[in-house]
Chains A and B, each alone.
Chain A
């Protein structure tokens, strides 16, 4: 039960950061450079969060880190693709 409660807290944290990021992207819609920086910060946070989440469960491995890196890179690449470059 405690295990699930901890998971829920972790998911709520990432959900809050993503919601905060989206809100900020809307607020910063007049500055595309700041939007990009914000997306990079949220993505970096996600990567660190993922590794930390697994570290807490004592199952962090290179394979898992690579998985989070690839998912993060893919999302960032798609964002830059839509943005039309850096």
Chain B
């Protein structure tokens, strides 16, 4: 009896027939409006919970310099290169760069005031022969960061360059353009040992006037690790994709049934809605992906 009721309910929701006026109940205006209201209410609830109890519902992040170093060296070893040594000086320079980006609110290799990455090498008296920088933001784990760098030709060149023998990382949380952001700065270098060797960066020349170093509050070995009870990114994405997929299914079933029965109704084009909702799923999938620079 229970199973029969359930089947009847699902048929009412998804298949057009006389009980739902030959339009899937889920696609009635009232149902769509109720669904919209539920999304708004649930959305407000999750936003307030994220702010009041981030340990319960928050963005799960696990990026540490140790993991970044391990994964970077793994990629280098796989490509027949010597592993890089973790440099405290470069990590300190990378932290200064990250702080500089937060203080001056920019996401670029060069600051709006013209400060280049090489400035931060000079601030810690790192006399480089070769220097390089990779940036990443809003990734959830170290492997994701390294994989994204490896997928980009210019970043990959830095990762797999035989010219570097040291690397430093900074993983810092802060607000960039008013948004909570996790920045990852990776500085590569090879320190000058012989007098008179010209430094090579392959980019801009370090400025003559150096800015005051930004305060470094980040520990050299610390990363950003946040493990809430529920990962809000995964939860919201899964719920949204589920709702959109259910609606697409309802539109497809509705369209097939009506085509077969040759019924004429005055409703919107189901194919329009299917295309738009499928697009919305793709929008949601690509939203919040980490970015590299």
The interface of chain A, by Cβ under 8 A from chain B, is: 7, 10-11, 14-15, 18-19, 21-22, 25-26, 29-33, 35, 39, 42, 46, 49-50, 53-54, 59, 61, 63-64, 66-68, 70-75, 77-85
Whether, in the assembled complex, B266 has its beta carbon less than 8 Å from a beta carbon of chain A, the answer is yes
Q: How far is the CA of A63 from the CA of B28 in the complex (A)?
A: 10
Kindly provide the distance from the CB of B32 to the nearest chain A CB, expressed in whole angstroms.
4
Kindly provide the distance from the CB of A45 to the nearest chain B CB, expressed in whole angstroms.
10
Q: Which B residues lie within 8 Å of A66 (CB)? A: 29
Partner of B179, one of A32, A50, A54: A32
Q: How far is the CA of A64 from the CA of B233 in the complex (A)?
A: 34
Q: Is the CB of B276 within 8 A of A71?
A: yes
Looking at chain B's contact residues, the main secondary structure is helix
The interface of chain B, by Cβ under 8 A from chain A, is: 29, 32-33, 35-36, 39-40, 42-43, 46-47, 50, 107, 137, 177, 179, 232-233, 236-237, 239-240, 243-244, 247, 266-269, 271-273, 275-280, 282-284, 286-289, 291, 293
Q: How far is the CA of A36 from the CA of B243 in the complex (A)?
A: 20
Q: Is the CB of A78 within 8 A of B243?
A: yes
Interchain pairs with CB closer than 8 A, number? 127
Kindly provide the distance from the CB of A20 to the nearest chain B CB, expressed in whole angstroms.
10
Q: Is the CB of A78 within 8 A of B240?
A: yes
Kindly provide the distance from the CB of B291 to the nearest chain A CB, expressed in whole angstroms.
5
Q: Is the CB of A25 within 8 A of B286?
A: yes
